[in-house]
Structure 1
Amino acid sequence: MNNKNEDRLQSARDGWSNRGSRRPPFAVEPKEGQRSVWDFPRPPVIEKVTKKVLVKYQGKTIVDTQKALAVLETASPPTYYIPQEDVQLDLLEPILGKSSFCEWKGKATYLVLKEKKNQPVAWSYANPFEEFEELKGYLAFYPQHLECFVGEYPVKAQPGEFYAGWITPDLTGPFKGDSGTGHW
């Protein structure tokens, strides 16, 4: 990366005011057994998930794993990453030419269901930044377009189409993604 790109990357990383060090006054107080997304750090961290994670589409199982990773970041519900060996890759195909960039993880590429090619359902980081090297070989899925479960609980999708956090009953918000929350 050249100096200009390094400066842009650092500027993007420094631009966040909420970093999980204190909850804002509008954050919902967690009850016993719950966690506030406002306690999650920035930069994000990776947490191993011990519960079973399922992802389905119209009754077809795409994912069945107990080896998921969750990325926890201030104001967002966790994003679940699944090892490729636990994904039915024959149901997916890459979207050529579509990518995005995360200031923490790097360049993402996207996948669609072979039978529903108009909507991205997953993404991955083929060459994540060093801090997130653990995500290499993993896929993340949009719960907005699939049936997702953590343990026995169905997942509610994070608001909006850009983010893909998985909301479970053990989380409190409010959650980034609603209109007017982009600066969180």
Structure 2
Amino acid sequence: MRWTAALDEKEELIPFSAPQVWSYPRPPALEKVPYNLKVVWNPPPQSGAPAVTIADSNHAWAVKETSHPPTYYFPPNDVNREFLRESRARHTMCEWKGVAHYWDLIAPEELAQKADRAEPAVKARIWSYPSPTPLARDLKDHLCFYPSSQTDAATVGSWECFADGEKVVAQEGDFYGGWVTSWISGGKKGMKGGPGTWGW
């Protein structure tokens, strides 16, 4: 195992394979992802329906910004858009990427039964930039998923997100959508998203 020095002498050494999010730049960097990303919908157990892959890509983009775990953007052709509906819930503005439009998810098992009458199972937990800033032009129409669907898995169903086969953990808080994996580190300071980190 290789090791690398931490950001200051008070911080412990961390594996070389686990870059600290504090090494990411601001404005953020866009990088092509060299591994597979996947989002899988798991229906509620009582439905008897199988799990369905919503998104699966080997050609995604990662957005890496200081103090944040990466967010991942799927090419539109790598997302099963049959299950998506444009959301009326909100738009948000990112100073680096532009105005985000949000999407709802229709549960595949509901769509199969009710077609156009199906109600969204997940609201406004997917977003895209139809008119991104020049900095983010490569993200145009790509789709980004919160790592948690914030739904009741037992009654509604839920999705799981995977990076290079590893199930990811959600960034702390519910504003940002970073995917936390075992190969990134926040060091002693941690990652942005939790209480007291808003001004980072």
TM-score, structure 2 normalization: 0.76
- Higher strand residue share: 1
Residues 28 and 36 in structure 1, CA contact (< 8 A), matched pair in contact too = no
> Which letter maps to 1:140?
C
1:49, distance to aligned residue in structure 2 (A): 0.4
Q: Tell me the secondary structure at the aligned position of residue 100 of structure 2.
A: strand
Residues 89 and 123 in structure 2, CA contact (< 8 A), matched pair in contact too = no
Unaligned 5+ residue runs, structure 1?
1-21
Asked if residue 70 in structure 1 is aligned to residue 54 in structure 2, the reply is no
Residue-by-residue CA offset, 1:100-144 (whole Å, 9 max, x unaligned): 000100100101112334532210010000111000020000001
Q: Which has the larger radius of gyration?
A: 2
Asked if residue 120 in structure 1 is aligned to residue 124 in structure 2, the reply is yes
Q: What does 1:125-136 align with in structure 2 at a 5 Å threshold?
A: 125-136=129-140
Q: Which residue of the other structure, out of 173, 183, 190, is the alignment partner of 1:170?
A: 183
Alpha-carbon distance in 2 for matches of 1:160, 1:45: 22
What residue number does 1:10 align with?
A: none
> Which letter maps to 2:135?
E
Q: Tell me the secondary structure at the aligned position of residue 14 of structure 2.
A: coil
Q: Which residue of the other structure, out of 6, 12, 29, is the alignment partner of 1:45?
A: 29
Farther off after superposition, 28-37 or 127-136: 28-37
Asked if residue 80 in structure 1 is aligned to residue 72 in structure 2, the reply is yes
Residues 28 and 172 in structure 1, CA contact (< 8 A), matched pair in contact too = no
Asked if residue 150 in structure 1 is aligned to residue 134 in structure 2, the reply is no
> Which letter maps to 2:86?
P
Instruction: Report how many aligned residue pairs link the two structures.
Output: 163
What residue number does 1:15 align with?
A: none
Q: 1:60 to 1:24 in 2, by over 3 A?
A: farther
TM-align CA RMSD = 1.9
Tell me the percent identity.
39
What residue number does 1:7 align with?
A: none
Alpha-carbon distance in 1 for matches of 2:87, 2:37: 24
Residues 102 and 128 in structure 2, CA contact (< 8 A), matched pair in contact too = yes
